[in-house]
A = this chain, B = another copy of it.
């Protein structure tokens, strides 16, 4: 970025969004405020109102940016052959850890204009890869998937369950509810996914008849 005049900032919008991330990273969403953000951006305290109207406006824009970023991240996640959403899930939790300030605002409807069309659109686009991964897998497996249904499986419910699980992992991680095992986020998500699959396979057999097949991971 080239040197600008002291008066006109040049890209204050960008600077304010960056300052927002910095403030939230240091003090949490509760520590956020227009004056504090302006201070960090090296600008008068009334300047943010010019770009975003009010605090909610700034945070809404910040959340939109977060969802857009999440969308590209998830869309770029690799699809693993044995589990169509594992790659997306790993990317999701990584995003939450790597972009904590964004993530924390994105799911705080009390602090954002929750009905903002741009926000809703960005969110819908962002989470699409979760369902898309499942449908792609359905097609690839040779079973023409009627909408929302594959071999009798409610795909929407599966997608919601997968979303909930990775979202829960992200939230529990960020709130310090998962003891640090020293493993990477990727390893953690893989471990949970593998264990869950194994448990389902081990226990889904009708009661009374023990399964002959050992658990998948064996």
Contacts and interface: CB of A to CB of B under 8 A. Distances in A.
Interface in A137-153: 137, 141-142, 150-153
A151 B196 contact: no
Q: How many copies does the complex hold?
A: 2
A192 interface: yes
Contact of A30 (B110, B167, B169): B110
Contact of A171 (B142, B167, B196): B167
B202 A150 contact: yes
Given A30-B110, A164-B169, A171-B171, A192 B153 contact: no
Contacts of A128: none
A158 B202 CA distance: 12
B137 A203 contact: yes
Interface in A114-166: 114, 123, 134, 137, 141-142, 150-155, 157-158, 160-166
Contacts of A158: 192, 195-196, 198-199
A49 interface: no
Interface string A163-199: 1111111011001111000000000000111111111
A192 B160 CA distance: 7
A142 B202 CA distance: 13
Contact of A197 (B29, B109, B178, B204): B204
A153 B215 contact: yes
A216 interface: yes
Contacts of A214: 151-152
25 contacts: A84-B203, A107-B175, A108-B175, A134-B199, A142-B210, A150-B202, A151-B198, A152-B198, A152-B217, A153-B198, A153-B202, A154-B191, A154-B194, A154-B198, A157-B192, A158-B195, A161-B165, A161-B193, A161-B196, A163-B168, A164-B165, A164-B166, A164-B169, A165-B165, A201-B204
Given A81-B207, A158-B196, 9 more contacts: A29-B110, A82-B204, A107-B175, A141-B210, A151-B202, A152-B198, A158-B195, A164-B169, A164-B172
